[in-house]
Amino acid sequence: MSRRRQIYEGKAKILYEGPEPGTLVQYFKDDATAFNAQKKGQIAGKGVLNNRISEHIFKSLATIGVPTHFMRRLNMREQLIRQVEIVPIEVIVRNVAAGTLSKRLGIEEGTQLPRTIIEYCYKNDELGDPMVADEHIACFGWASQDEMNDIADMAIRINDFMCGMFSGIGIRLVDFKLEFGRLFDGDFSRIILADEISPDSCRLWDMKSNKKLDKDRFRQDLGDVAEAYQEIARRLGLLTNEDGEAGAVLDLDAHRNKKGK
Ligand code: C5P
């Protein structure tokens, strides 16, 4: 695995060429960035936890018929995924006011929204991922109307499922970000869920205490960041190995960033 070709390095993940055509290996780093990479740091063990949490969520979504890029987890930090052409739109789903919505519109953080909101941002770091309307997406050809219909339908289904899943473990799903890609089959393509879903890309609050158990702990210097990610994994039942293998508990210290191993 040491001489794999690197396809792309993002802020929190690296993509390598996969073992078969049409596949990639997605490697989860411990690196954390916020505010369009103006703030940088490391969260020990984050990559291991996000790999596991994202695997769990993507597999669960597949069981309700949401097509995803996930194929299988390879090891503590890597998963095998289908290669897609990423749609350059970040899809943000909000149930509760927080983050940039609160800032932009002056709505107090924690206000339950009367209905779920879906926002779209154009994926462009130089421009700071600006929010765009459907008209911009159509006008600049970032996605077709059919593709956007599929994306919006899937985003709502994913939100319904995840709200239920997290409320079952005492967590309020405040908001989250999704990315989608085009999976090609000859001349045809279809939209599938890509990237990751983890405490890096969701706001997750404890229902009783409102404690933040997500990347806002890093963004806002709240401390205990790795512990919060671990708490999510623990409540999802991922800190013990379901297969019953020995050494079940994730030993985070033993799996700190081993980039490019
Ligand atoms: O910052 P904002 O309030 O717009 O973020 C909304 C949600 O989308 C948050 O859960 C945040 O973690 C996620 N997000 C993300 N990546 C981005 C922007 C937002 O994961 N580039």
List the Cα angle 137/142/143 in 5-degree steps: 85
Compute the distance from residue 17 Cα to the ligand 1 centre, in Å. Answer: 28
Instruction: Please name the amino acid found at residue 171.
Output: I
Compute the distance from residue 224 Cα to the ligand 1 centre, in Å. Answer: 20
Handedness of CA 127, 129, 133, 138 (dihedral sign): positive
The CATH 3.30.200.20 portion of the chain extends over: 6-84+227-251
Report the distance separating Cα 257 and Cα 177, nearest Å.
Answer: 24
pLDDT tens digits, 89-129? 999 999 999 999 999 999 999 999 999 999 999 999 999 99
C-alpha neighbours within 13 Å on the C-beta side of residue 194: 25
Q: Work out which ligand 1 atom sits closest to the CA atom of 177.
A: 8
What pTM value is reported for the model? 0.93
Report the distance separating Cα 8 and Cα 14, nearest Å.
Answer: 6
Structure tokens at 160: 């319904």
The CATH 3.30.470.20 portion of the chain extends over: 85-206
Phi-psi domain of 186 (left: phi exceeds 0; alpha: psi -120 through 50; beta: other):
left
Listed range (45-49, 64-68, 245-249) with the worst mean pLDDT = 245-249
Q: Work out which ligand 1 atom sits closest to the CA atom of 201.
A: 20
pLDDT band, very low/low/confident/very high, at 250 (cuts 50, 70, 90):
low
Which listed CATH number (3.30.2350.10, 3.90.1300.10, 3.10.105.10, 3.30.470.20) goes with 85-206? 3.30.470.20
| Adjacent-strand bridge partners of 177 | 92
Indicate whether 3 pLDDT > 80.
no
CATH class (in words) of the domain with range 6-84+227-251 = alpha beta
Compute the distance from residue 93 Cα to the ligand 1 centre, in Å. Answer: 9
pLDDT of residue 161: 98
